[in-house]
Amino acid sequence: MKFIIHRKIFISMVFLGLTILGYVSYKRLPVELLPNAELPMLFVQIQSRIEVDPKYMENQAVIPIEGAIGT
């Protein structure tokens, strides 16, 4: 703590240097209005050759597939 109190100019220069470094880093950051955020997604399409009830399709196909690939 005594070092900080007795070396005021040195500490001021370190603070100024860190401030300038922070400003330069801030200016170099890429900023976009609408950034490209790709979320991990998987689409599975299930087709049936016969007409089936949606509830049956959900219970027999959708829920088991979601359980198998979901984490």
Q: What is the pLDDT of residue 71?
A: 59
Task: Pick 8 or 22 by higher pLDDT.
Answer: 22
Q: What is the pLDDT of residue 49?
A: 83
pLDDT tops 80 at residue 1: no
Could you count the other beta carbons within 10 Å of the beta carbon of residue 61? 14
**Taking the alpha carbons of 53, 58, 59, 62 in that order, is the dihedral positive or negative?**
positive
Rounded Cα distance, 19 and 11, in Å: 12
Rounded average pLDDT over 1-16 = 86
CA distances in angstroms from 63 to 24, 25, 36, listed in the order given = 52, 48, 31
Rounded Cα distance, 39 and 45, in Å: 19
Q: What is the pLDDT of residue 18?
A: 98
Rounded Cα distance, 61 and 52, in Å: 11
- Each residue of 18-71: pLDDT tens digit? 999 999 999 999 888 888 888 888 888 878 788 888 898 889 888 888 888 875
